[in-house]
Amino acid sequence: MADDKLTRIKTLLAAGLPLPPDIAAWLIAGLDEFSSGRCKTLCLALGLRKRGQSSHATRKKIECRNACLKNIAQLYPGTPWQRACIISEQLNRYPRLPPEEKAMYGYLKSLEINIPSLAMIHKILKTD
Residues 38 and 12 both lie in one domain:
yes
Asked if residues 55 and 48 have their Cβ atoms less than 8 Å apart, the reply is yes
Same domain, 73 and 114: yes
Dihedral over Cα of 107, 113, 118, 123: its sign:
negative
In a domain, 112, yes or no: yes
Tens-digit pLDDT profile for residues 11-40: 999 999 999 999 899 999 999 999 999 988
Structural domain contains residue 51? no
Shared-domain flag, residues 89 and 118: yes
Beta-carbon contacts of 6 under 8 Å, excluding residues fewer than 6 positions away, are 48, 56
Looking at the structure, tell me whether residues 115 and 63 fall in a common domain: yes
Q: What is the pLDDT of residues 103-113, one digit of tens each?
A: 888 888 888 88
**61 with 96, same domain?**
yes
What is the tens place of the pLDDT at every residue in 39-85?
Answer: 888 888 888 766 666 777 788 889 999 999 999 999 999 999 999 99
Q: Are residues 74 and 118 in the same domain?
A: yes
DSSP letter for 50, please. Answer: -
Q: In this structure, is residue 36 part of a structural domain?
A: yes
Give the domain extent around 25. Answer: 2-46
Number of domains the chain is built from: 2
The span from the CA of 121 to the CA of 66, in Å, is: 8
Residue 103 lies in a domain: yes
